[in-house]
Amino acid sequence: MNDFTFCSPTKFVFGRGVTDRVGPELASAGYAHAFVIYGQGSVVRTGTLGRVLASLDEAGIAHTELGGIRPNPEVGPVRDGIRTAREIGCDLVLAVGGGSVIDTAKSIAVGVPYAGDVWDLFTGAPKPAGELPVASVLTIPAAGSEASAGCVITNDELSLKRGIPFDLRRPVLAFMDPELTFTLPPYQTAAGVSDMIAHVMERYFSAAGPVPITDNVATGIIRCLIKETPRALADPTDYDARANIMWAGMLAHNGLAGLGRGTEPGGSSAGGWESHGLEHELSAHDARVTHGAGLAVIFPAWMRYVWRTCPERFCSFGRDVFGIEPVDPAADGVDVEPEEAVTDAVTATIDELQSFFVSIGMPRTLGELGVTKEQIPALLETLEQNKGPEFGEFKLLTMADARAIYESAL
Ligand code: NZQ
Ligand code: ZN
C-alpha cells in the first residue's frame, strides 16, 4: 500500500426532504448571500429550485441566480458568473444540479479572486488564494463533483475540455436527497452509473499492486451499482435503489476507492485516467455526447487494448466483480493452455462489463454516439494538446495507441 494524504471535509446532509434544510444549514454555518447556479430547466420544472429558494428566504439568506448551464459546461457562463459574483459580493456559490452545474460553481468560486481570464487556470496558471466556498444540492448522481477536488470545463472556441490541474477546495456542504433523482430520464441514470463505475476502475487499474482494503471498497461499489441500477430503471421511484446509487456516486469519486493505489508520493489521487482522457475529447468536440455514455464505450475498448500489460489485475477484477475465474488447466478433463485460460477469463470479464452497460441502455460503439472515423484525427489533435504525446499509467499510450482504441470502438 502506497502512502497517501486524504482529506474529505465535505459535510453530507443525506435523505428524504433534505432539500428543505438548505437554508437553515447554510445559516447555521454563517453564510449570508448565496449565488445559486442551475442548469437548463430540470430544477425549475421539478420544483427543486423553488424549494431551495424558499428555504433560503426562510433562513434569511440573500440569493442571486444564474441558470442555463448546459451539460459539458462551457467557460462563457463561468466568466459571466465571476463578474456577477464580484458585483453582488456573495459569500457562497450554491450549485443546484449535477456535475456540470457544480463544476461551473467551482470554477466561478476559484475565478473570483483571480485577476486574469479564468481559462488561464485550466492551462497552468497557479491556483489563486482565497477561493469562495461551494455547496451543492445534487440532482443527478454521476460525476461525484459534490465531494471531489476537481472540476471540468469546456472551451468551445478551442474545442478543449479540461480538468483543473490542481486540487480545488472541496465543497463545504452536499445536500443529497435521493427523491430528487426520481425524475431522471433512464439514459441519464445509466450514464451517471457508467461514470461512477469508470471512476472506480480508473483507480483500480493504476500502476500500483493490490491494496486489499481499497480494492474491496472499489469492487464492492461496482457490485452494488450492478445490482441497484436495474432496480432504479425498472422503478424510478424505488427510494432505496436511488439512495444507494446516489451514495455510491460520492464514494466512487471522493478518493476513498483509490487510497494507497496512488503512485505519486503522498498524493491522494490514483490512476492514469486514460479512459477519461479519451472520452473528454468526444464530449469536447460534441457537447451532445454524455460523459458517462462516452465512457461506457471507451472503457471496454481501453481494457481490450491494454489488459496484457497486467493480466493478473484483470483476473482479480473479474473474480471480485463478476465471480469469473480462469479455468484450471490442471483440472481433470480440461484441455486448455494456461495462457488461453487467462485470455478467456479476461475476455469474459470485459464482455460481461460491456453487456451490463448495454443492458442499462448505454451505447456499445462510437457510431451510436455519432462519432465517425473521419473525426478521429481531430480528437487526437486535441488529445495531444491536453495530454502530450504519451499519457497513461497502467500502460503508457502514444497517439497511435489512442487512434487504435478509438478505431476499435467504432
Ligand atoms: O440542465 P438540466 O435541465 O438541469 O438537465 C440535466 C442535464 O441535461 C439533467 N438532470 C439533472 N438532474 C435531473 C435532470 N433531469 C431530470 N431530473 C433531474 N433530477 O441531466 C443532464 C445531465 O446533467 P449533468 O450535470 O451534465 O450530468 P453529470 O452530473 O453527469 O455531469 C457531467 C459533467 O461532469 C464532468 C463531465 O465531464 C461533464 O462535463 N465531470 C466532472 C468531474 C468532477 N468534477 O470531479 C469528474 C467526472 O469524471 C466528469 O468528467
Ligand atoms: Zn467521469
Distance 343 CA to ligand 1 centre (A): 36
Q: What is the pLDDT of residue 276?
A: 97
- Please tell me if the CB atom of residue 150 comes closer than 6 angstroms to any atom of ligand 1: yes
Q: Ligand 1, residues 8, 140, 146: which to mutate, most atoms within 8 A of Cβ? A: 140
Distance 406 CA to ligand 2 centre (A): 18
Q: Is 383 helix (H, G, I), strand (E, B) or coil?
A: helix
- Write down the mean pLDDT value for the chain: 96
Number of the ligand closest to the Cα of 192: 1
Distance 206 CA to ligand 1 centre (A): 26
Q: What is the pLDDT of residue 264?
A: 79
Fold for domain 17-176? Rossmann fold (3.40.50)
**Which residue has 421511484 as its cell numbers?**
237
Fold for domain 187-408? Dehydroquinate synthase-like, alpha domain (1.20.1090)
Summarize pLDDT for 137-153 with one digit per residue, the tens.
999 999 999 999 999 99
Distance 202 CA to ligand 2 centre (A): 9
Q: Ligand 1, residues 19, 38, 188: which to mutate, most atoms within 8 A of Cβ? A: 188
Residues 151/191, Cβ–Cβ less than 8 Å? no
**In the chain, where the domains are located:** 17-176, 187-408
Residues with CB under 5 A from ligand 2 (ion): 195
Summarize pLDDT for 236-284 with one digit per residue, the tens.
999 999 999 999 999 999 999 999 999 877 666 899 999 999 999 999 9
Task: Provide the pairing of β-strand 33-38 with 62-66.
Answer: parallel
**Nearest-angstrom CA–CA distance, 108 and 110:** 6
Helix or strand run (H / E) with residue 152: strand 152-155
**Nearest-angstrom CA–CA distance, 282 and 276:** 10
Q: What is the pLDDT of residue 213?
A: 98
- Please tell me if the CB atom of residue 168 comes closer than 6 angstroms to any atom of ligand 1: no
Share of the chain above pLDDT 90, in %: 96
Distance 65 CA to ligand 2 centre (A): 27
Instruction: Pick the atom of ligand 1 nearest to 195's CA.
Output: 48
Q: Where are the beta strands (DSSP E) in 303-406?
A: 390-391, 397-398
Q: What is the pLDDT of residue 266?
A: 62
Q: What is the pLDDT of residue 269?
A: 82
Query: Which pairs from 51-57 meet CB under 8 Å and 24+ separation?
Result: 51/19, 51/20, 52/19, 52/22, 52/94, 52/96, 52/137, 54/20, 54/23, 55/19, 55/20, 55/21, 55/22, 55/23, 55/24, 56/22, 56/23, 56/26, 57/23
Cβ neighbours, 10 Å, residue 45: 9
What is the pLDDT averaged over residues 374-385? Answer: 97
Summarize pLDDT for 73-100 with one digit per residue, the tens.
999 999 999 999 999 999 999 999 999 9
What is the pLDDT averaged over residues 118-129? Answer: 94
- Please tell me if the CB atom of residue 101 comes closer than 6 angstroms to any atom of ligand 1: yes
What is the residue-wise DSSP string for 161-215? EEE-SSPPPPPSEEEE-GGGGGG--HHHHHHHHHHHHHHHHHHHTSSS---HHHH
The residue whose CA has the least distance to atom 49 of ligand 1 is 143
- Please tell me if the CB atom of residue 39 comes closer than 6 angstroms to any atom of ligand 1: yes
Q: What is the pLDDT of residue 267?
A: 66
- Please tell me if the CB atom of residue 276 comes closer than 6 angstroms to any atom of ligand 1: yes
